[in-house]
A and B are shown apart, each in its own frame.
Chain A
Amino acid sequence: MCIAAPARILEINDNMATVDFGGVRQQVKLDLVSDVEIDKYVLVHSGYAIEILTAEEAKDSLEAWDELLKVMDEEE
């Protein structure tokens, strides 16, 4: 139920945005976030943006975990 997915903002009209989930477009509400801009990424839950992400944060990339492992190793 608490599923949320990152999407890129394509267009903003008042409190609504058209976002792109890697090909699928959807309308989402922006009432729960501030300072949204076109091309920024948002985390979307049940039709509402609930957080703003940077492009890097939105990627879920292997490099990100690799980086995290390196940080963990340094802490050891």
Chain B
Amino acid sequence: MKNLTREIVERIEKIAQPVKIMHVCGSHEHTIMQHGIRTLIPPEVEVVAGPGCPVCCVPSREVDEIMYLAKKGVTVTTFGDMLRVPGTNGCLADARAEGADVRIVYGVGNAVEIANKVDNEVVFMAAGFETTAPTTASEIAQGPPENFSLLSCHRLIPPALKFLIESGEVNLTALIEPGHVSTIIGTKPYEVFSEKYGIPQVVAGFNPFDVLIAIYLILKQIKDENPHVQNEYKRAVRDDGNVKAQELMDEVFYIKNKEWRGFPSIPDSVYEIRDMYSQFNAREKFDIPELESKETVTGCICGPILRGVARPEDCKLFREECNPVNPIGACMVSKEGTCNIAYRYGSLNDYSAP
């Protein structure tokens, strides 16, 4: 059998030049680290991880909001990764240890099932990018039980990309776009970044070949001086995306400015529930006050890591005080977090190599 990896890497080597390619997906970082992709390609072709983990991007304020509800006695449901994401004073796992009813679910559908079975108020803390937002939109549009409500922590990828490009902090040359976010939103929302800023972009799948081919296609766009959006993940991404899912999101959510962990307020970057569905908006239903929230623990560099300007190895807590058993920062909590992935696969990836 032909060695497909070598064939792609040879093509990359032939046209390699200094570039900084950012991806914004925990699954891409996982593929890259698990398969040592950074060690396969020339060192001048840099691939950096951006804000690709939606749980990591939930800021302290939103953790504080759900803690406020948990302590009030509502039943909190959320994804497992969310439990140890730090707020100003502890995390949901702490609240559970103190007796709060906090339950892990696989998706919003399970949270609605729980609401159907119990009399207590059930809140689903909805983290997730555009991949996940349609699932919660669909439940809200269908009219969940009266004791169900949503704390929307849904975030949008293109506004974060715009922020990262315009801030210039990370100085990125090109983008690998997240496959399953693109399944929903399609390829068009990215076009402006090629047109306005000349950034080559490839929507990629999650197999190591997908990522290597995406890197090759980006280098080829640079060589041809033809920056545009290419879809490498055609098997799951249509150019228009999933229109039905987009319509549901439009019906249920509006878009507002909000801070992300490690970022200031990013314009038009989160989904909040529209007034017509406000009875399912936990912020309104429980009148959650403006909380005085503080960002993460001293010494943790989650923020710069999420912005792609630092690697986990740059953090003095990494592998020492901060590890998957005792995570200090959000990027170590989630299995999609850059630090958690680096902890598990770091030995396969030697960054100190010249």
Please list the residues of chain A having a beta carbon within 8 angstroms of any beta carbon in chain B.
1-4, 29, 31-34, 43, 45-48, 50-51, 53, 56-58, 60, 62, 64-66, 68-69, 72
Contact = CB atoms under 8 A, between A and B. Distances in A.
B131 A47 contact: no
B262 interface: no
A72 B10 CA distance: 14
Interface of B: 1-2, 4, 7-8, 11, 25-27, 53-55, 79, 81, 106-110, 127-129, 131-132, 134-135, 138, 142, 178-181, 183-184, 205, 207, 209, 213, 216-217, 220, 232, 234-236, 238, 242, 244-245, 248, 334, 336
A65 B213 CA distance: 9
Contacts of B142: 31
Please give me the 7 A-B residue pairs with the lowest Cβ-Cβ distance, nearest first: A46-B107, A57-B235, A47-B107, A2-B131, A2-B180, A31-B138, A65-B209
A34 B238 CA distance: 14
Given A45-B132, A45-B135, A69-B7, A58 B107 contact: no
Nearest to A3: B27
Given A50-B131, A66-B2, 4 more contacts: A1-B54, A32-B245, A47-B110, A60-B205
Contacts of A64: 235
Given A48-B107, A57-B235, A2 B25 contact: yes
What does DSSP make chain A's interface, helix, strand, loop or mixed? mixed
A1 B110 contact: no
Contact of A4 (B1, B4, B180, B216): B180
B183 A4 contact: yes
Contact of B129 (A1, A29, A34): A1
Given A45-B132, A45-B135, A1 B109 contact: no
Contacts of A72: 11, 213, 216-217, 220
B207 to A, nearest CB: 6
B159 to A, nearest CB: 17
Contacts of B81: 1
Contact of B245 (A3, A4, A50): A50
